């Protein structure tokens, strides 16, 4: 059971380039999330999805786009890379979230993509 898999693990981009960070999960989880982690800042939510075909903005969505065509995959797209997007990006998935069923439903994280924009 692979869990949440992110590719690539590392990438260096030039300003203005575009790329897609891949995320796939094999746990049949409905909910998926993209976070960025900057030193001393904790995890910030970029986008999330509650199921195939449904996505919504998180706290810091500017400069990013997502799609969710299948339950398993949730790619994150950077269209015009900027130095401010240098960060470590984490994808996470969660089985479900409801008013009385939160317990035993943790978010499972991938190992991250380290992205540098130069």
Partner 1 sequence: QKEVEQDPGPLSVPEGAIVSLNCTYSNSAFQYFMWYRQYSRKGPELLMYTYSSGNKEDGRFTAQVDKSSKYISLFIRDSQPSDSATYLCAMSFNTGGFKTIFGAGTRLFVKA
Rounded Cα–Cα distance for residues 87 and 101 (Å): 33
Per the DSSP assignment, residues forming a β-bridge with 51 are: 54
Rounded Cα–Cα distance for residues 52 and 30 (Å): 8
Interface pick for partner 1 out of 21, 66, 76, 92 (rule CB under 8 A)? 92
Interface pick for partner 1 out of 107, 115, 116, 118 (rule CB under 8 A)? 107
Interface pick for partner 1 out of 33, 34, 64, 74 (rule CB under 8 A)? 33
Tokens 């984490």 sit at which residue?
90
Largest CA distance in the chain: 46
The answer to whether residue 71 forms part of the interface with partner 1 (CB under 8 A) is: no
Reading the block at residue 91, the tokens are 């994808």
Number of residues counted as binding partner 1 (CB under 8 A): 26
The answer to whether residue 75 forms part of the interface with partner 1 (CB under 8 A) is: no
Whats the size of the chain, residue-wise?
118
The answer to whether residue 90 forms part of the interface with partner 1 (CB under 8 A) is: yes
Site residues, partner 1 (CB under 8 A): 4, 31, 33, 40-43, 45, 48, 50, 56, 58-59, 90, 92, 97-99, 102-103, 106-107, 109-112
């Amino acid at each position: 059971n692979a869990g949440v898999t992110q590719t690539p693990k590392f990438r260096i981009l030039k300003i203005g380039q575009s790329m897609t960070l891949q995320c796939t999960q094999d746990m049949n989880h409905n909910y998926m999330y993209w976070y960025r982690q900057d030193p001393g800042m904790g995890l910030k939510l970029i986008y999330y999805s509650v199921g195939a075909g449904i996505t919504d903005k998180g706290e810091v969505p500017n400069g990013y786009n997502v799609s969710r065509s299948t339950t398993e995959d949730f790619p994150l797209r950077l269209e015009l890379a900027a130095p401010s997007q240098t960060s470590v990006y984490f994808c996470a998935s969660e089985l479900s979230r409801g008013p009385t069923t939160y317990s035993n439903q943790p978010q499972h994280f991938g190992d991250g993509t380290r992205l540098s924009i130069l």
